[in-house]
Amino acid sequence: MTDRQSIIDQFKAKLDQWDAEIDELEAKARGASAEARANLHEQISKLKDQRGEAGSRLDELRESSQEAWQEVQAGAQRATEALGESLRAVREKF
């Protein structure tokens, strides 16, 4: 496995983990009060938007040329870090 493939695999693993965490939050929302459920659904919607952005960055990373690799990798890193921070904030809130 190349270093490049290893990095891509790490990003994919993070996204898979965060997909599972988003699913957990959705399960919690089903058992929450109406007000909390509405707030949680709003937060989950934002997380899913961020997840979509991070997924797009992963696709770009997979398809990037050697010349663009560093720049694309940095963008993917920023997107996944933002998603991770958002997930932590939502989990702490609920």
Contacts of 27 (CB under 8 A, 6+ apart): none
Asked if the model's pLDDT at residue 13 lies above 60, the reply is: yes
For residue range 30-88, list pLDDT tens digits in order.
Answer: 888 888 888 999 999 999 999 999 999 999 999 998 888 888 899 989 998 999 999 99
For the entire predicted model, the pTM comes to 0.81
- Dist. CA 94–CA 83, nearest whole Å: 17
Res. 2 pLDDT band, cuts 50 70 90: low
Residue 20 has φ and ψ, to the nearest 5°, of: -65, -40
